[in-house]
Structure 1
């Protein structure tokens, strides 16, 4: 099995199914690898050369498909997800691409179906199935990153988060703006210790008003 490939990116394209495909040249051979859109942005924006891509080879209808990831942790999480009943490769990629590695791990550990359901194609039942599948192996799953989850991956309690999102959505803020506010506020340990939903809403509105040109 291929564990990783090292080579030079030749081209990044979106195919007719809107999948992000990397053409990677390795020893004068071009490999077609489906990658995350966030990985492709990093490659293109930074004009990366001689990159390492961690891979997972899947056989579908006797046709080999190579999936590639920027880190071994993303690749290992992908392998875990496709073992969940009803989660195929494309949905697993969408989950990692939408939430990012740490937020996805945190959402599963905290049983946050609301966050998981932000991924296109993931409904309430699918989110619950993902959480249920990992319920008995949380200790292994928490160590998937090879390190403790950083404070940047911390989030408020589920009850606070739901009140915050409902209120801010009603005030006209977008999901993107709300996620940025939550991500920023969650880096403040003092705020993170506060379980008062009204205080979170107040702090989020203050941050959003101060950073309206950034959101």
Structure 2
């Protein structure tokens, strides 16, 4: 399994797809002289640095009879949510990408947990029945609070940006920690000197897990 790839952007172009209203892109990442083709959403493509600059992409590998496909995500949280989406019967990789692209993490999770099938079905390729199945299956899976409580553990305040805290929460929730545990951890580590002046998500995750594992 390839967890993530870090390298220089060699190319990024729209994929040939029948879903013209939900385009995906092929990112070619040069990692130590090897070019990896990674399928990403349009929203991810829009956030990438320029060709030639370095970036890091979290990946999910799909192995099929005739090919292997890497799907890429800008954050761990987005990748974990993608994995949850495609675990639902009838939700393939392209629909999973379309949901992430059209709604984003926070609105998508909110729609699933609240059972808002109207919002879910606004995504091309997601009909009413698919939206109902998506809400039913994932709401049940996430009923214990994992991923469903995005935003519920707000506690760090101005120490870290909202975007970083959202990813931190989503990552820890995906790892199985409860909202209460995460809230306690964030309150405990917020004043650590190593974190007070950094927005490095990996540093925050490392310290949070260390505190939770103590």
Q: TM-score, normalised by structure 2?
A: 0.64
* CA distance in 2: counterparts of 1:55 and 1:126, whole angstroms: 25
- Could you say which residue in structure 1 is the equivalent of 2:43? 38
- Out of 65, 90, 112, the residue aligned to residue 116 of structure 2 is 112
Structure 1's 144 and 36: CA in aligned 2 closer, same or farther, altered over 3 A? farther
Deviations 1:104-162 (A, max 9, x none): 00000111011101100101100000011123222456436876377x9xxxxxxxxxx
The answer to whether the 8 Å contact 2:8/2:55 transfers is yes
Cα shift at 1:98 = 0.4
* CA distance in 1: counterparts of 2:116 and 2:52, whole angstroms: 35
- Could you say which residue in structure 2 is the equivalent of 1:171? none
CA RMSD of aligned residues (A): 2.4
- Could you say which residue in structure 1 is the equivalent of 2:53? 49
- Could you say which residue in structure 2 is the equivalent of 1:74? 78
- Could you say which residue in structure 2 is the equivalent of 1:5? 5
* CA distance in 1: counterparts of 2:114 and 2:82, whole angstroms: 19
Consecutive unaligned residues in structure 2, runs of 5 or more: 18-22, 155-161, 163-214
- Could you say which residue in structure 2 is the equivalent of 1:133? 137
- Could you say which residue in structure 2 is the equivalent of 1:143? 147
Length, aligned pairs only: 151
Secondary structure of residue in 2 paired with 1:32: strand
Q: Structure 1 residue 85 and structure 2 residue 89: aligned?
A: yes
More helix by share: 1
Secondary structure of residue in 2 paired with 1:106: helix
* CA distance in 1: counterparts of 2:30 and 2:94, whole angstroms: 24
Consecutive unaligned residues in structure 1, runs of 5 or more: 153-215
- Could you say which residue in structure 2 is the equivalent of 1:155? none
The answer to whether the 8 Å contact 1:77/1:144 transfers is no
The answer to whether the 8 Å contact 2:84/2:138 transfers is no
* CA distance in 1: counterparts of 2:44 and 2:148, whole angstroms: 20
The answer to whether the 8 Å contact 1:73/1:144 transfers is no
Q: TM-score, normalised by structure 1?
A: 0.64
- Could you say which residue in structure 2 is the equivalent of 1:28? 33
* CA distance in 2: counterparts of 1:69 and 1:14, whole angstroms: 16
